[in-house]
Amino acid sequence: MWQKIARRYACALACAAAVVTLPAHAQGDAAFVVGQLLERGGAQADYARDFMAGAKVAFDAANQGGGIKGRRITLVRREVDQTAAVPQAVDMIERDHAEVLFGVSERLLPALAASPDIARRNVPLLAPLSGATSHSDNVWFIRPDDDHEIVAAHNRLRQFGMRRIALVTTAGFDPQVGAHLRETLAAAATGKGDAAETLEVYTLADDPGGLAARIAPTKPTAVIVAGDTLAYSTVGRALAQHGWYGFLVGLSSVNPQVAREILGAGYSGGMLLAQTVPNPASAGTKIAREHMARMKQFLDEPPSAATLSGYIAATYLVQAMNAAGGKVAGAELRRALRTRIDLGGFTLDFTRGNRGSDFVDLNYIQGSGN
């Protein structure tokens, strides 16, 4: 699935700058320009393509219905080097008239969020592909941060009855997350007879084999890896080589197909990945059903968590713009985004901060499919 969408959008994303004008019935009003910046050759390329595939079908559907109060939606995409992110963003705002920066890459976010040139132009950064923590009032995350994701995944495992859990952290993650988990566990255990529950915290350095040799003998039921796809996979592979086949738990940013390839056909442990949107293949929520129908209508590709994330973010933007009259920009657009919208069984609420959702669930990854 990831490869199919990647091939479909490879040409557009390979260009340094690309403009995609989405079809619309409405004529006469200035287009609403949505800009996206991606890190050239970055690790998030596959996820970004799927995210924008989901966003595009939402914009296609909006344009088919007349756009945003008569304004068609145009996408502008650029792949840039990390050092060129801010000047490229400013150029996109000035030359292409981008009114929102949408789905920017994780490694580009810090510079963009801190840029006074972007802040001065009142162009919001909506739905960055990042679980980082940012206190900028110019950033709107549609998902919880990584630390919340780790804590929520841990608590979900405990709900499944798992009482011996290990946490492996990698560079870039809050070193205090382990202490926070221990405090949560201790508070929950008070007066409930859960003192036998354990949480061991490890740090992945340069030797996953040595780390696995320390973890495997303790026989944890689950090992949470706070890291990217490579870290998740190499830790799991090393653990299997030391005879451990429990549940390997990763964050929502892990690519399941790449992870399976690295783990190898012989890996027989369980794979669990966090998910920050509802099950994209389930009919349990209206937004998931709508997303599946739009994907079939405009793209004819199966849904994924990444495509649903993009669809949710784009739908939120369209609905917030419509509610504000459609022609808001700059500071007015930022105020329009500070709202709460039920998108059909999944709510984004930005009235209390820049995190619209704290939803986290765990998804079991089958051996040959998601």
Between vectors from CA 254 to CA 253 and to CA 259, what angle results, nearest 5°?
A: 170
**Would strands 164-169 and 198-203 be described as parallel, antiparallel, or unpaired?**
parallel
Cα within 13 Å of Cα(266), Cβ side: 7
Q: Helix, strand or coil for residue 195?
A: coil
| CB-count exposure of residue 183 (10 Å: 0-12, 13-18, 19+) | exposed
Q: Which two three-digit tokens encode residue 6? A: 């990647």
Q: Nearest Cα to 57, choosing from 304, 254, 350, 334?
A: 304
The whole-angstrom separation of Cα 330 and Cα 315 is: 19
Q: Report pTM.
A: 0.86
Question: What pLDDT was estimated at residue 370?
Answer: 42
Place of tokens 């580009």: 108
Cα dihedral: 318, 322, 327, 333 (round 10): -60
The whole-angstrom separation of Cα 189 and Cα 185 is: 6
The whole-angstrom separation of Cα 241 and Cα 235 is: 10
Question: What pLDDT was estimated at residue 187?
Answer: 63
- Tell me how crowded residue 237 is: count the other CB atoms within 10 A of its CB: 20
**Would strands 73-80 and 17-21 be described as parallel, antiparallel, or unpaired?**
antiparallel
Q: Helix, strand or coil for residue 337?
A: helix
Question: What pLDDT was estimated at residue 197?
Answer: 66
| CB-count exposure of residue 207 (10 Å: 0-12, 13-18, 19+) | exposed
Phi and psi, residue 165, nearest 5°: -125, 140
Q: Helix, strand or coil for residue 101?
A: strand
CB 59 within 8 A of CB 22: yes
* CB neighbour list of residue 185: distance below 8 Å, 6 or more residues apart: 194, 197, 199
* CB neighbour list of residue 179: distance below 8 Å, 6 or more residues apart: none
CB 309 within 8 A of CB 348: no
Question: What pLDDT was estimated at residue 257?
Answer: 85
The whole-angstrom separation of Cα 73 and Cα 96 is: 13
Question: What pLDDT was estimated at residue 18?
Answer: 53
Q: Helix, strand or coil for residue 131?
A: coil
Question: What pLDDT was estimated at residue 282?
Answer: 81
Q: Nearest Cα to 100, choosing from 118, 82, 81, 117?
A: 118
Q: Which two three-digit tokens encode residue 1? A: 């699935």
The whole-angstrom separation of Cα 311 and Cα 328 is: 21
The whole-angstrom separation of Cα 294 and Cα 26 is: 20
Question: What pLDDT was estimated at residue 188?
Answer: 57
The whole-angstrom separation of Cα 41 and Cα 50 is: 16
Q: Helix, strand or coil for residue 105?
A: strand
pLDDT truncated to tens, each residue of the chain (370 aa)? 434 434 444 433 343 345 554 544 444 468 999 999 998 887 788 888 999 999 999 999 999 999 999 999 999 999 999 999 999 999 999 999 999 999 999 899 999 999 999 999 999 999 999 888 888 889 999 999 988 898 899 989 989 899 899 999 887 676 677 777 777 666 655 555 554 567 888 988 878 999 999 999 999 999 999 988 899 999 999 999 999 999 999 999 888 888 999 998 888 889 999 999 998 888 789 999 999 999 999 998 889 999 999 999 999 999 999 999 999 989 999 999 999 999 999 999 999 999 999 999 998 886 544 4
Q: Which two three-digit tokens encode residue 275? A: 């998910």
